[in-house]
C-alpha cells in the first residue's frame, strides 16, 4: 500500500491517495470492531449484556411444571377411569 500511495502521490491522484489511506487505517479498525462484536455475541452464557435470560426461563419452566402437577391433581373422574390411573 505504501508503494501504491507513493506512486499516487507522485502523480497527484488525490482520490487514490484517500482510498489507500482508508484501506490502510480505517479498514483494519472496522474489522477489529466486527471481531469484538463477534466475541461478545459468541458466548451467550458469560453473563454479559447478550446473556440468555436464565431467570425468565426458570420461572416459565416452574410455571409449566406447576400447571402439569395441578392438572394431574384435578383430573376429572372419567379420565381417571378411562386411563386406569388411581387417584
- Residues 36-67 have pLDDT tens digits of 888 877 777 777 666 777 788 899 999 999 99
Do 58 and 48 reside in the same domain of the chain? no
Q: Cα torsion for 49, 55, 60, 62, to the nearest 10°?
A: 160
Do 2 and 33 reside in the same domain of the chain? yes
pTM: 0.42
Cell of 59: 420461572
Do 36 and 58 reside in the same domain of the chain? no
Cell of 55: 431467570
Do 36 and 24 reside in the same domain of the chain? yes
Of the chain, the percentage scoring pLDDT greater than 70 comes to 92
**Among 20-24, 40-44, 64-68, 80-84, the least confident range:** 40-44
> Which residue range is the domain that position 31 belongs to?
1-52
- Total residue count of the chain as it appears in this document: 87
Amino acid at each position: 500500500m505504501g508503494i501504491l500511495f507513493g506512486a499516487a502521490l507522485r502523480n497527484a491522484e488525490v482520490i487514490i491517495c484517500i482510498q489507500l489511506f482508508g484501506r490502510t487505517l480505517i479498514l483494519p479498525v472496522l474489522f477489529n470492531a466486527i471481531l469484538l462484536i463477534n466475541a461478545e455475541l459468541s458466548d451467550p452464557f458469560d453473563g454479559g449484556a447478550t446473556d440468555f435470560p436464565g431467570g425468565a426461563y426458570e420461572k416459565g419452566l416452574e410455571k409449566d411444571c406447576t400447571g402439569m402437577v395441578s392438572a394431574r391433581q384435578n383430573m376429572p373422574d372419567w379420565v381417571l377411569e378411562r386411563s386406569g390411573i388411581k387417584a
